[in-house]
Amino acid sequence: MPDVLVAGAGPTGLLTAFELERAGVDVLVLERDPGPATQSKALGLQPRSVEVLADRGLLAAIEPHARAKLPAGHFSGVPIDYRDLPTRFPYQLGVEQAHVTAAIEARLRTPVLRGAAVTAVAQDDEGVTVTAGGREHRAGWLVAADGGHSTVRMLLGAAFPGRPARTSLVVADVTLAAKPAGLAEDWTLPSSGSGYLLPLSAGRYRTIVYGEEQHRLGRDAPVTADEVRRALTAAHGPDVVLGEVLWASRFGDASRQLERYRHGRVLFAGDAAHIHLPVGGQGLNLGLQDAANLGWKLAATVHGTAPDGLLDSYHDERHPIAARVLVSTRAQAVLGVPAPDAAAVRAVVTELLAVPEARRAVAAELSGIGVTYAGVSGRADVPAAPDGRAVLIGAAVPAGWTGRVEGREGAAPRLVRPDGYVVWDGGPGLDEALRRWVGAPA
């Protein structure tokens, strides 16, 4: 019997499983789809996510598939320079989500169980029973990372307040039978506008289309080739000829967030916990950071070494971060509306973001580099311990913690949590920090 079940084999679920496994926890990932996703979906890893993947030895398998290292992010299409961020990776890595998930899945010890759609969840004081793919699976804990339409969330009746979508857009991976001269074949700064075309691998293009037709059709109508063709012609003229629509989906600007990320022995992460307009790859990156925060805390709980309140600190730390992203994406949705007043607001915001202090503040937020938590003094961009332990740099590991803390040489004393955040940086208080984040000495 596994220690933890994970519902959903997207990037959030897979990274959570990876974090748990490297900390010595047995995990089984349940995925409703019969095979790995091949759709491009999200296309950008923000700098903090790149740090996390690099520190875990996952980046090397992703980088060969990257299309670009973009020196800027964007706020509803307004470029935000990343080049002076305090990180080894001052850029957004342009890569298809499918390559990110494949790289993480390849490192799991236990294969993903596919064709296992969750249909029932029951929990008691000892664990969780999940019915998936017609079979019952039992574990001590369940991580629900099963997307914006989370079945686990609905089965538990978890409150998901917010507002519904006010508009509808289409995202599609397409091929072109003919294309206009001058169509970009390289990634530059983020493109915007209905019908823009972004080159992917293997002759494919990503397009997002929106307008009166998409708003009228709504979320449930199937996306047709004629609909995509009309939008591309309107954007590029008759020289663009649609070949094939390989994948298409409707999405909107709904904005919702769970009131609590923990429901007994069920923890929610990624889109199962929060949904918003998917602008700038914020959803992918928010989910990866949820996983990095949750994995080591749940592993310590499984092993019985977690200090009081450690698992609940997952909600306390991550809920405000997602709430801020929801505010940011709602603001970006307003700026993206093709209306005179929105254009006036965009002009003012563009001027404000040219002010260095404002630009740096927004860059820190969008990139994830500026994310911090109570009791944390910063990030430590150092390789994570291969077994998920905390890392103590430049100081001797005190007796009683040698099995749960990895010691390393270094000039600057620091205690680094398994998710890369510094919770002690020299001076008094090491014992207190160890007890707060690692647990009582053995």
Q: How high is the pLDDT of residue 189?
A: 57
Q: How far is CA 137 from CA 21, 116, 144, 150, 158, in A?
A: 18, 11, 14, 18, 21
Helix (H/G/I), strand (E/B), else coil: 312? coil
How much of the chain, in percent, has pLDDT values that exceed 70? 99
Positions of E strands within 253-319? 255-257, 262-263, 266-268, 274-275
Q: How high is the pLDDT of residue 143?
A: 99
Kindly state the tokens that stand for 105: 């899945």
The whole-angstrom separation of Cα 274 and Cα 306 is: 26
DSSP β-ladder status, 421-424 and 378-379: antiparallel
The whole-angstrom separation of Cα 174 and Cα 240 is: 12
Q: How high is the pLDDT of residue 180?
A: 83
The whole-angstrom separation of Cα 349 and Cα 352 is: 5
Q: How high is the pLDDT of residue 191?
A: 57
Residue 169 · residue 208 · CB < 8 Å = yes
Q: How high is the pLDDT of residue 190?
A: 52
Residue 30 · residue 133 · CB < 8 Å = yes
* Predicted confidence pLDDT, tens digits, the chain (442 residues): 999 999 999 999 999 999 999 999 999 999 999 999 888 888 999 999 999 999 999 999 999 999 999 999 999 889 999 999 999 999 999 999 999 999 999 999 999 999 999 999 999 999 999 999 999 999 999 999 999 999 999 999 999 999 999 888 999 999 999 988 878 777 765 556 788 888 998 899 999 998 889 888 877 899 999 999 999 999 999 999 999 999 999 998 999 999 999 999 999 999 999 999 988 778 899 999 999 999 999 999 999 999 999 999 999 999 999 999 999 999 998 887 777 788 898 899 999 999 999 999 999 999 999 999 999 999 998 899 999 999 999 999 999 999 999 999 998 999 999 999 999 999 899 999 999 999 999 8
CA angle, 19 as apex, 16 and 21 as ends, to 5°? 105
Residue 180 · residue 236 · CB < 8 Å = yes
CA distance from start to end of the chain: 27
DSSP codes joined into one string, 71-131: SEEEETTEEEE-TTSSSS--SEEE--HHHHHHHHHTT-SSPPEES--EEEEEE-SS-EEEE
φ, ψ of residue 284 to 5 degrees: the values are -55, -50
Q: How high is the pLDDT of residue 343?
A: 86
Kindly state the tokens that stand for 322: 């997602």
The whole-angstrom separation of Cα 286 and Cα 193 is: 24
* Domains with residue ranges and CATH for the chain: 4-161+256-367 (3.50.50.60), 168-252 (3.30.70.2450), 378-437 (3.40.30.120)
Q: How far is CA 412 from CA 121, 397, 407, 424, 437, in A?
A: 47, 15, 13, 11, 20
Reference 11, options 21, 2, 19; nearest CA is 19
Residue 13 · residue 143 · CB < 8 Å = yes
Q: What is the pTM of this model?
A: 0.96
The whole-angstrom separation of Cα 266 and Cα 155 is: 12
The whole-angstrom separation of Cα 197 and Cα 135 is: 43
Run of H or E including 299: helix 282-303
Write the pLDDT tens digit of every residue in 378-387. Answer: 999 889 999 9
The whole-angstrom separation of Cα 76 and Cα 104 is: 29
Run of H or E including 153: helix 151-156
Residue 368 · residue 47 · CB < 8 Å = yes
Neighbours of 79 (CB within 10 A): 17
